[in-house]
Amino acid sequence: MRIKQTALMWLVAIVVLVGGDSMQAESFSGTGQVYISPATKHVQLNETFDLYIAIDAQVKYFRGFEYNIEVDTNVIRLITAAREPFFTGPEGIYFTWKDTVYTFPQIGSRYVYEMVGSIFGYGNYVDGPGQVVKMTFKAVGNGVSDVIFRKAYMEDRYGNPMSIQDSPSGLVVVCPTANQPPVANAGRDSTLFQCTPAAISIVAGCTDLDGNLSTCLLTSSTGTYSGGHITFTPTGSGTYTFILKATDVCGLTDYDTSVVNATANQAPVANAGRDSTLSQSTPAPISIAAGCTDPDVNPAGSLSTCLLTSGPGDYSGGHITFTPTGIGTYTFILKATDVCGLTDYDTSVVNVTSSYHCGDANGDGSVDISDVVYLIALIFSGGTAPNPLLAGDANCDGGVDISDVVYLIALIFSGGLAPCGLSCIH
Ligand SMILES: [Ca+2]
Ligand SMILES: [Ca+2]
Ligand SMILES: [Ca+2]
Ligand SMILES: [Ca+2]
């Protein structure tokens, strides 16, 4: 508390009164605050407690005020208000308070506590910081009440209005005498499968038997909590943990955890079998081990169909089966589709060759005059048949006879057409 009243100050005041403006620089700067102290107060139901209206060190030459304070009267009510010793002067002070209803231009009608005070004597004042008014409240209901300045009019030592920078509100939290902790519920644990990533919603929430829940927040990094639901989108297969935190206005907390085991669909796998090369003397069925699999063992996401989409023959029972129509390259495409619609394709190639050369009647690997001799021996002397017999069918007409001998002689001595060679599988 400081009281400044000296002969010098009186002299200055007189100078101002007679028209001098040299003291304007000493007038209030407008950077000060009047505020509720403490800013936050925790009390119990039915408790009587004090809040102060205070000014900070930036407030200078302060002599009079009118404060209108609004609170939630369901939570706290003013019992009495009194001037603090800080706010005084040599010629005494005036202070009064009442409850009343004012109509404010911006917010309309409000029930407020009006406090009016002044230091008597021209030029008397106090400088901040200090407590100006003590307000004694009673906690009448559980909950939270702001303590708001609806009016913060202040006068300087000459009765001129002071400009102040701000008038911060206070906050009173009234807790039940036997406050119950809140209850967080992060929802039920669950296991789920998804064909494609999609948002999941979990019913969750916070409650408090006292009705004084303050916040309900998701403290885990995954997902968001809003409106009674935890919402998240799985980013793949995995275990997702959600922690919900309930806090009541009195600071009691509760945590709850829920877990979602999510499985994302994986693509099926088609296997059309190994590429191969094989020889045949006559067309015969060929069987290739093939099939489709899916990593998802549950019905959801498992294999739906395994189909041969390209190539001769059929796919059934783990095998592609076909009978070649001649020598050549046979390409097979097997398509796997799962119940989610994901697909996979695999290709295999079977190269079918002949186990003999047409015209190579004696089977020595080349077509030459010895084959002519061999065929003549067969036809005219009952010689041994080629193995297979069609190896002697040089002209590929399906039979082995003298025309093949003629064909070979023409080939060997006259540059005739080559035997049908590797294409003589019929
Ligand atoms: Ca509570
Ligand atoms: Ca799958
Ligand atoms: Ca030969
Ligand atoms: Ca022939």
Which tens digits make up the pLDDT trace of 268-318? Answer: 999 999 999 998 877 889 999 999 999 998 788 899 999 999 989 999 999
pLDDT of residue 69 exceeding 50, the answer is: yes
Residue 145 predicted with pLDDT over 90: yes
Ligand nearest to the CA of 367: 3
CB 59 within 8 A of CB 128: yes
Give pLDDT, residue 315.
96
9 — pLDDT class (breaks 50, 70, 90): very low
Which CATH class for the 269-354 domain? mainly beta
Q: Give the pLDDT of residue 12.
A: 35
Dist. CA 40 → ligand 1 center (Å): 18
Range scoring the smallest mean pLDDT among 2-11, 33-42, 120-129, 314-323: 2-11
pLDDT, one tens digit per residue, over 335-373 is 999 999 999 999 999 999 887 888 889 988 888 999 999
Compute, in angstroms, the gap from residue 243 CA to the centroid of ligand 2. 31
* 325/218: higher pLDDT: 218
pLDDT of res. 414: 83
- Cα–Cα distance for residue pair 262/259, rounded to 1 Å: 9
CA distances (Å), 417 to each of 407, 409, 424, in order?
A: 8, 11, 14
pLDDT category, 5, cuts 50, 70, 90? Answer: very low
Whole-number percent of the chain with pLDDT over 90: 68
Interval between CA 257 and ligand 2 midpoint (Å): 30
Please tell me the pTM assigned to this model.
Answer: 0.62
Higher pLDDT, 222 or 319: 319
Give residue 281's pLDDT.
77
- Is the pLDDT at 19 greater than 50? The verdict is no
CA 251 / ligand 1 centre spacing (Å): 8
Determine the Cα–Cα distance for residues 334 and 332; give it in Å rounded to an integer. 6
Give the closest ligand to the alpha carbon of residue 356: 3
Say which residues have a Cβ less than 8 Å from residue 234's Cβ, sequence separation at least 6: 194, 197, 200, 240, 260, 262, 264
User: Identity (one letter) of the amino acid at 409?
Assistant: I
Q: Please state, for a pLDDT cut of 70, what percent of the chain lies above it.
A: 90
pLDDT of 7 above 60: no
- E-state strands within 265-422: 269-271, 276-280, 286-289, 291-293, 303-310, 314-316, 319-322, 328-338, 343-354
Residues of the chain within CATH 2.60.40.10 domain(s) are: 183-264, 269-354
- Please check whether the domain covering 183-264 is classified as CATH 2.60.40.10: yes
User: Which residues belong to CATH 2.60.40.680 in the chain?
Assistant: 7-175
Cα of 285 to ligand 3 centre, how many Å?
Answer: 28
Helix 369-381 to helix 402-414 angle (10° resolution) is: 160
Q: What is the pLDDT of residue 175?
A: 94
Model pLDDT for residues 76-123, shown as the tens digit of each residue: 999 999 999 999 988 889 999 999 999 998 889 999 999 999 999 888
Ligand of minimum distance to the alpha carbon of 297: 2
Class of 7-175 in CATH: mainly beta
Taking only the tens place, the pLDDT of each residue in 184-196 is 999 999 999 999 9
Identify the three-state secondary structure at position 93: strand
Q: Let me know: does 137 contact 78? Beta carbons within 8 Å.
A: yes
